[in-house]
């Protein structure tokens, strides 16, 4: 009997993975991942106006150009990737400059003194200026206006510097469990976690599709009768669950390898073309940022439990999908019946996204214990530091117990469903089968 079960699993996996479509799909995924992880290179490769400099002609009627230039450049340098600007203190008239900036993105800035507002400015350009540029100009002008006002009151330069500098906040959190700079980490954590749960969402979708298609294929060709006359429905059901779970695990492994290849290609390109130290620095910064969030520590701590939770959730979804597939007689009906399952998956996904916003929400915590949702929510709120490892363990335990219960009762439906070809009195038959031992 074990040989038959192994054979059924092998056949299911072979049917799914020995096809050219499986190979093509994974090749496309690899190409896409390489593309996504190297998108900046690709964009640069095809060229564009990345190096274009926006010239700002300043007509200085307030004798504040040196101060403006200093502020503007400091601000521009502090904000990376803001764009390329070049300042010029112009002696031309506004009309002459308007002729000069015709058909360009250049800007004319006129700074003048005002009796009521101390300082005013006019901006003229051939094309509309961008939001970022406007913000940059505004902030720089605000700063020199403050200097101008304070200077008028007779305050010394060092006093002005002290006044205009930011107030330093010395933070102290008394909870010993909270790590340093926890606030800043949340944003990084939530972003990182979302990247981590998306593949699970995709894998579950693949799993339910696989098991549904297989069972419907066997039912619609009536080969189910021959199969079930030789192996028990329990074994058949188990083989489908094991095969589909193995399939998604293999698929997950392929995804990890794909990501590694994509990263490898990125690093290789960096070395080969010596593109810049900036890129390497950026990667190191990103890695350090991840490390600083403390997610890695939590991940390592909770990983064994999370893996068990993921595994049992895969099995649980496979059981439910198998039961639903057994009740239908063709793939179209199955796809319709599968919709609530997909919505449930989406609920889990969105709640997981919201977990970082609604820190400590009781509702989210309750949902993290509900099987079929827990695998998306419980690990996320654990990694965000909202629950303890014990609570993660409890979610896993509930999922395991629920999986066994669903298998027990689902098998009763499965036994009746796989040999049922009629939709007449379907739900009556299903409810009856659940009651029958």
Partner 1 sequence: MLKVEHVTKYYGDVLAVDDLSFEVKKGEIFGLLGVNGAGKTTTFRMITGLLDKNSGTITLDGKPIDYSITDKIGFLTEERSLLTKLTVKEQVIYYGILKGMKEKDILEKLDILLKRLHIEEYKERKIKELSKGNQQKVQFITAIINEPTLLILDEPFSGLDPINVELFMDVIRELKEKGTSIIFSSHRMEHVEMFCEKLVVLVRGKSVLAGNLKQIKKDYRKKNIHVEAEKLDITKLKQVKGVLDVIQNENEVIVKIASEENVNDVFDCVKTCKGVTKFVVEDATLNEIFLEKVGVMYENKM
Binding residues for partner 1, rule: CB under 8 A, are 1, 3-4, 7-8, 11, 15, 217-218, 221-232, 419, 425
Helix (H, G, I), strand (E, B) or coil at 60: strand
Pick between residue 224 and residue 381 the one whose CB is nearest to partner 1.
224
Pick between residue 228 and residue 347 the one whose CB is nearest to partner 1.
228
What 8-state DSSP symbol labels residue 376?
H
The least CB distance from residue 324 to partner 1, in Å, is 21
The least CB distance from residue 212 to partner 1, in Å, is 16
Q: Where are the alpha helices (DSSP H) in 274-388?
A: 277-293, 295-327, 331-354, 362-367, 374-383
The C-alpha atoms of residue 78 and residue 70 are separated, in whole angstroms, by 12
Pick between residue 10 and residue 291 the one whose CB is nearest to partner 1.
10
Pick between residue 7 and residue 404 the one whose CB is nearest to partner 1.
7
Instruction: Report residue 236 as tokens.
Output: 């058949």
The C-alpha atoms of residue 393 and residue 55 are separated, in whole angstroms, by 60
The C-alpha atoms of residue 173 and residue 184 are separated, in whole angstroms, by 14
The least CB distance from residue 325 to partner 1, in Å, is 16
CA angle 347, 352, 356 (to 5 degrees): 140
Pick between residue 223 and residue 288 the one whose CB is nearest to partner 1.
223
* DSSP line for 377-407: HHHHHHHTTSS-HHHHHHHHHHHHHHHHHHH
CA angle 251, 253, 257 (to 5 degrees): 115
* 3-state SS record for 148-181: HHHHHCCCCHHHHHHHHCCCCCCCCCCCCCCCCC
Pick between residue 112 and residue 222 the one whose CB is nearest to partner 1.
222
User: From residue 68, how far is each of 59, 62, 63, 286 by CA, in Å?
Assistant: 12, 11, 10, 34
The C-alpha atoms of residue 140 and residue 64 are separated, in whole angstroms, by 11
The least CB distance from residue 358 to partner 1, in Å, is 48
Pick between residue 278 and residue 425 the one whose CB is nearest to partner 1.
425
In the block, residue with structure tokens 């290609």: 265
The least CB distance from residue 203 to partner 1, in Å, is 24
The closest alpha carbon to 147, from 111, 108, 123, belongs to: 111
The least CB distance from residue 235 to partner 1, in Å, is 8
The least CB distance from residue 246 to partner 1, in Å, is 19
The C-alpha atoms of residue 40 and residue 3 are separated, in whole angstroms, by 52
Pick between residue 123 and residue 227 the one whose CB is nearest to partner 1.
227
In the block, residue with structure tokens 């009997």: 1
Pick between residue 4 and residue 301 the one whose CB is nearest to partner 1.
4
The least CB distance from residue 13 to partner 1, in Å, is 14
The least CB distance from residue 8 to partner 1, in Å, is 8
Instruction: Give yes or no for a contact between 374 and 313, defined as CB atoms under 8 angstroms apart.
Output: yes
The least CB distance from residue 2 to partner 1, in Å, is 12
Burial bucket for residue 288 (CB in 10 Å: 0-12, 13-18, 19+): exposed
Pick between residue 120 and residue 232 the one whose CB is nearest to partner 1.
232
């Amino acid at each position: 009997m074990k040989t038959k079960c192994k054979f059924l699993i092998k056949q299911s996996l072979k049917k799914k993975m020995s096809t050219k479509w499986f190979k093509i799909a994974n090749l496309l995924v690899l190409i896409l991942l390489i593309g996504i992880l190297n998108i900046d290179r690709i964009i640069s490769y095809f060229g564009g106006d990345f190096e274009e400099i926006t010239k700002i002609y300043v007509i200085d009627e307030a004798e504040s150009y040196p101060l403006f230039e200093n502020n503007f450049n400091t601000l521009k340098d502090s904000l990376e990737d803001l764009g390329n600007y070049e300042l010029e203190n112009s002696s031309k008239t506004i009309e002459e400059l308007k002729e000069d900036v015709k058909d360009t993105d250049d800007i004319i800035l006129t700074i003048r003194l005002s009796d009521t507002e101390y300082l005013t400015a006019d901006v003229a350009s051939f094309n509309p200026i961008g939001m970022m540029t406007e913000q940059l100009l505004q902030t720089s002008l605000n700063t020199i206006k403050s200097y101008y006002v304070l200077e008028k009151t007779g305050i010394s330069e060092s006093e002005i510097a002290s006044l205009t500098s930011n107030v330093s906040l010395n933070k102290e959190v008394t909870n010993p469990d909270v790590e340093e700079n926890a606030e800043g980490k949340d944003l990084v954590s939530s972003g990182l976690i979302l990247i981590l749960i998306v593949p699970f969402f995709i894998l579950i979708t693949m799993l339910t599709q696989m098991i549904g298609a297989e069972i419907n294929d066997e039912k619609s060709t009536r080969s189910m009768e021959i199969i079930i006359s030789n192996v028990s429905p329990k074994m058949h059901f188990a083989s489908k669950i094991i095969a589909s779970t193995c399939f998604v695990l293999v698929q997950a492994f392929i995804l990890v390898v794909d990501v590694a290849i994509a990263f490898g290609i990125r690093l290789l390109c960096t070395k080969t073309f010596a593109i810049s130290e900036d890129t390497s620095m950026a990667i190191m910064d990103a890695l350090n940022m991840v490390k600083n969030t403390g997610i890695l520590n939590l991940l390592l701590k909770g990983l064994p439990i999370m893996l068990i939770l993921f595994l049992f959730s895969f099995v649980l979804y496979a059981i439910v999908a198998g039961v639903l597939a057994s009740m239908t007689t063709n793939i179209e009906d199955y796809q319709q019946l599968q919709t609530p399952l997909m919505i449930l998956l989406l609920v889990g996904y969105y709640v997981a996204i919201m977990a970082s916003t609604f820190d400590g929400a009781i509702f989210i915590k309750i949902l993290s214990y509900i099987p079929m949702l827990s695998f998306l929510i419980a690990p996320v709120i654990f990694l965000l530091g909202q629950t303890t490892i014990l609570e993660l363990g409890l979610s896993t335990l509930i999922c395991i117990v629920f999986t066994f219960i669903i298998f027990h009762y689902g098998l009763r439906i499965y036994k009746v469903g796989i040999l049922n070809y009629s939709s007449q009195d379907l739900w009556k038959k299903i409810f009856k089968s659940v009651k029958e031992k």
